[in-house]
Amino acid sequence: MADGGAESPQETRLRLLLARSITPRPVTQIPVLDDRGRVRRRIDMGYPQWMVGVEYDGAQHFDDPRAYANDIVRLEFLANRGWSIVRVSAVQLRHERAEIVTRVRRALMARR
């Protein structure tokens, strides 16, 4: 179950939750290219074949106005590239694990 793609312990917890609950296992650090073919963004984890990404948003995404503004631009870029993103907060990962799995499954079903 090891995967070097996680960039935080919480991303690892989220990846393991999905790997144990959903087949296939999520891929980590998915590169998303711009129109010139350069890597412009990375998605924490997800399912590239269906263009469903899963992002763990730590406290900095909510507490830092610049990080929050960057998230808006980032999510619009990903949506314009065809990606559906499921965002997960620390509270959700701690207390709403079944709901996270349901949300990711729904996103996958909508794309399959």
1 lies in some domain: no
Residue 100 pLDDT more than 80?
A: yes
Whole-number pLDDT of residue 42 = 95
Domain count, the chain: 1
Whole-number pLDDT of residue 8 = 84
pLDDT band at 67 (very low <50, low <70, confident <90, very high): confident
Rounded-to-integer distance, Cα 18 and Cα 12, Å: 10
Range of 20's domain?
9-39+47-111
3 lies in some domain: no
Rounded-to-integer distance, Cα 18 and Cα 92, Å: 14
pLDDT (tens digit per residue) in 19-63? 999 989 999 999 999 999 999 999 999 999 999 999 998 766 667
Whole-number pLDDT of residue 58 = 79
Backbone angles phi, psi at 109, to 5 degrees: -60, -35
101 lies in some domain: yes
